[in-house]
A and B are shown apart, each in its own frame.
Chain A
Amino acid sequence: MEFLNGLVFLTNFVIVPALAYGAQLAIGALGVTLVYAILRFSNFAHGDTMAFGTAVTIKVTAVLVAMGITLGPLPTALLAMPVGILATGLLVLGTDWLIYKFYRQQKAKPVILVIVSLGVMFVMNGLTRVFIGVRDIQFADGARFLMTVRQFKDWTGLDEGLAIKTTQAITLVTAAITVAALFWFLNKTRTGKSMRAFSDNEDLALLSGIDPDRVVRVTWLIVAALATIAGVLYGLDKSFKAFTYFQLLLPIFAAAIVGGIGNPVGAIAGGFLIAFAEVTVTYPLKKVLTYWLPDGMGPDGLVQLLSGDYKFAVSFMILLIVLLFKPTGLFKGQNI
């Protein structure tokens, strides 16, 4: 009983939130990794692409709700998301046409493109703030919980409760569908395979008659979709704030690099790894240990290894360790 109570407590406060956060990071990291694999640069504007897609989705959600259209127990934002994806797709295609295309034609080195994307990041950042403001916005509606603490306690009779938020469940389901669709696309369709071929050996891909412009366009559209989905899921689960999304860049890049940048499987594994590390290290584990350790051996302190304000340090440390000892990441990715 003691053990089960401890496990439920851990699940409620660490495992479930980390799973949801990990799924959000994983989808974000997939976008970063795709840009890296195919366009060959680290896209620093990815966090703000997510913010833009989410901002559009929020606006459309507001319009839908005002018109009385909702999804019942599900957040209306899911209905608005396709519009957000479309708008973000147009934005990134426009950005590519206006900015990245020039550098591609110059055959600029990846490091130059990284700095270019930094500039794009600032512009998109400003664009999003002008569009929706800098406030913290809650836009989740519908049912708040799939399972409440009270229901769980009544059902199991345990002392500790487990709550599952609707947004957490939606995050995991949406992430699973998104990842399955992406892998199906990359591995089974002609266009997806041509993208992988282009990523593997650009010259040979061109010799085989693969159109590089088309590969780039399709990549940006997929990246826009991934960014919007990741952003909306994160915003639903927590809240939307332009600055928070900019900060998400670090854990997302850490996730992509830990997994092996350019490798989609690695991005997913990295997302969950970073999320679990972050949540575990910043959550006070006193209660779990009190349950699990024999009587009287429970810790006196909170056993919170790092204050929540320092959560970015976790990503940063993992990033440093991986870059020092295994620069290609856990799953063999491309080189930084």
Chain B
Amino acid sequence: MTDNPYRDDRGNNDRSITKSGGGVAQPVTSGQSSPAPGTPFLIGDAMTGGYGKGPDILHSCTIAVEPGEIAVIVGPNGAGKSTAMKAMFGMLDVRSGRVMLDGEDITALSPQQRVVKGMGFVPQTHNIFTSMTVEENLEMGAFIRRDDFRDTMAQIYDLFPILKEKRLQPAGELSGGQRQQVAVGRALMTKPKVLMLDEPTAGVSPIVMDELFDRIIEVARTGIPILMVEQNARQALEIADKAYVLVQGANAHTGTGKELLANPEVRRSFLGG
């Protein structure tokens, strides 16, 4: 998002989401899923991988979400938080480990196929169609659905009342917090089984951040499990049912948000005492 007219600012500049070989990350090319009964609802199990031919960034990292939970991934800069989430969404190919969703092994599926399987993903940046209205953004979110999605849209307007008010306005004209709501709304239009948010509060003011967290909790109350990467570790841990602290691409601490908030080592190492 730059105003410099000489710069190319199309797409979200993360070619790894959709194109093989275009970016540094190698996304999974389309494959088949296989049943994997008896596993957690969504789990990235012992994932190891990195970008391109580079060194491993994730080291046997495990992230799991159960229905009705908010799971957060926190950790210092460069810990591989976003990488772990991208690996679970198929944006980078894991060298070992598996990803399972709702009793199915989806490790071999491409990101698009995972969307069809019920993963909703909100990228960190460039996550809305800026030139299209809020309503059109939501319609595009529902593109894979051929049924009537008006009730889903009504639900999203209930969750985010401001979007209903601004539904005929181009999404690019909205404020940062409202844009994030559009982005989350767009991802919810497919009625995903799990919602993955990559730093939803990056770059918004503290007040807006609190509001966004409230909204996310509301989304979780509708029964959709949420996996979220967060910079603001303290707030994130406060709302988390389950939290993963990653350090250098490996699980350092795992527990409920409250446990980790109380954990002296976690507090000392990166909550600031």
Chain A residues engaging chain B, CB cutoff 8 angstroms: 40, 107, 190, 193-194, 196-197, 199-210, 327-328, 334-335
Contacts and interface: CB of A to CB of B under 8 A. Distances in A.
B25 to A, nearest CB: 12
Determine the main DSSP class of A at the interface with B.
helix
A186 to B, nearest CB: 11
Contacts of A40: 10
A201 B12 contact: yes
Main secondary structure of the interface of B (DSSP, over half): loop
B17 A207 contact: yes
B11 A201 contact: yes
B126 A203 contact: yes
Interface in B114-167: 115-116, 121, 123, 126-132, 136, 139-141, 143-144
Contacts of B115: 207-209
A203 B14 CA distance: 8
Contact of A203 (B5, B11, B144): B11
B144 A196 contact: no
Contacts of B144: 208-209
A329 B7 CA distance: 15
B253 interface: no
A207 B127 CA distance: 10
A208 B8 contact: no
B254 to A, nearest CB: 29
* Residue of B112, B130, B136, B143 contacting most chain A CB atoms (<10 Å): B143
Interface of B: 5-12, 14-15, 17-19, 22, 111-112, 115-116, 121, 123, 126-132, 136, 139-141, 143-144, 186
Contact of B130 (A200, A203, A206, A209): A200
B10 A201 contact: yes
A107 B140 contact: no
Contacts of A196: 129, 131-132, 136
B129 A204 contact: yes
A209 B116 contact: yes
A212 B15 CA distance: 14
B18 A206 contact: yes
20 contacts: A190-B143, A193-B140, A196-B131, A196-B132, A197-B140, A197-B143, A200-B130, A201-B126, A201-B130, A202-B11, A203-B12, A204-B123, A204-B127, A204-B129, A207-B121, A208-B115, A209-B115, A334-B10, A335-B5, A335-B7
B200 to A, nearest CB: 15
Given A193-B132, A204-B127, A204-B128, A210 B12 contact: no
B129 A200 contact: yes
Contact of A209 (B5, B22, B112, B123): B112
A328 B128 CA distance: 21
B132 A200 contact: yes
Nearest to A110: B8
Contacts of B9: 335
Nearest to A193: B136
Nearest to B116: A209
A208 B15 contact: no
A205 B15 CA distance: 12
Given A203-B14, A205-B129, A208-B140, 5 more contacts: A107-B15, A190-B143, A201-B10, A204-B126, A204-B129
Contact of B129 (A190, A201, A335): A201
Nearest to A40: B10
A202 B132 CA distance: 13
Closest 7 CB pairs of A and B: A209-B144, A206-B18, A200-B129, A203-B11, A197-B140, A208-B143, A327-B5
Most buried by B among A190, A202, A203, A210: A203
Nearest to B8: A335
A328 B129 contact: no
A49 B201 CA distance: 48
B6 to A, nearest CB: 6
Nearest to B141: A208
Given A40-B10, A327-B6, A335-B8, A203 B143 contact: no
Nearest to A206: B18
A334 B7 CA distance: 10
A203 B22 CA distance: 12
